[in-house]
Amino acid sequence: MVTKGERIGVFGGTFDPIHVGHLVAAVNARHALGLDRVILMVANIPWQKVGVRSVARAEDRLALVEAAVGDVAGLEAGRLEIDRGGDSYTADTLAELAARHPGADLFLLIGWDVVATLTTWERWEAIRDLATLVVVNRPGVGRPEGLEREGWRVAEVTVPNLEISSTDLRERAATGRPLDYLVPEAAVRCLRARGLYARGR
């Protein structure tokens, strides 16, 4: 495959908290597509969750992601949306990355369950023009239909089916139940040290 420069994956999320499913998706996408790095971009204010539920502070969620990726080759925590402030929109993030890294190829990682909502995203046409869409599928799900007709450049990555609920993880943290093997060990230590998801917070 001909490349014009660095191949950068962008995996945006609330990461409230990050868990091993996120990391499995990131490392498999990096390997399958030959990405130089994957940025786990922490949303400042995730507009889709505003008014739906409370979300941990952005800096706390970033600290969890930093702890989780540790020294994993090719993965890094991203704070661009936190530094920009306000609501986090993928179109803004991709535009800023394109400006900072001229000539780079950008790849946006999303889950299969998100595909149907893409046209509800802020300035989704700009997202389509700026990045190749990487749909992370479970085994046997099949390729999403219609995206190429709408002009998307699409790649597909199949990863092991890990059913991990962030809601359950927050409840586990609140009640002191084990998070082992669900959340990376360093992130669990960070979560406990910061008192995240404790009752009354």
CATH of the domain at 130: 3.40.50.620
pLDDT tens-digit readout, 92-125: 999 999 999 999 999 999 998 889 889 999 999 9
Q: Residue 1's CB: how many other CB atoms inside 10 A?
A: 6
Tell me how many domains the chain contains. Answer: 2
Structural domain that includes position 190: 165-196
How far apart (Å, rounded) are the C-alpha atoms in residues 65 and 194?
Answer: 14
44 located within any domain: yes
Q: Specify whether 146 is located in the same domain as 136.
A: yes
User: What does pTM read for this prediction?
Assistant: 0.92
pLDDT tens-digit readout, 54-95: 899 999 999 999 999 998 999 999 999 999 999 999 999 999
Q: Specify whether 120 is located in the same domain as 144.
A: yes
Q: Which residues pair with 11 in a beta bridge?
A: 40
Q: Specify whether 152 is located in the same domain as 171.
A: no
Q: Specify whether 158 is located in the same domain as 170.
A: no
62 located within any domain: no
In 3D, which of 125, 3, 160, 22 has the Cα closest to residue 78? 22
Q: 143 vs 40, which has greater pLDDT?
A: 40
Q: Specify whether 134 is located in the same domain as 144.
A: yes
Residue 2 binned pLDDT confidence (cut-offs 50, 70, 90): very low
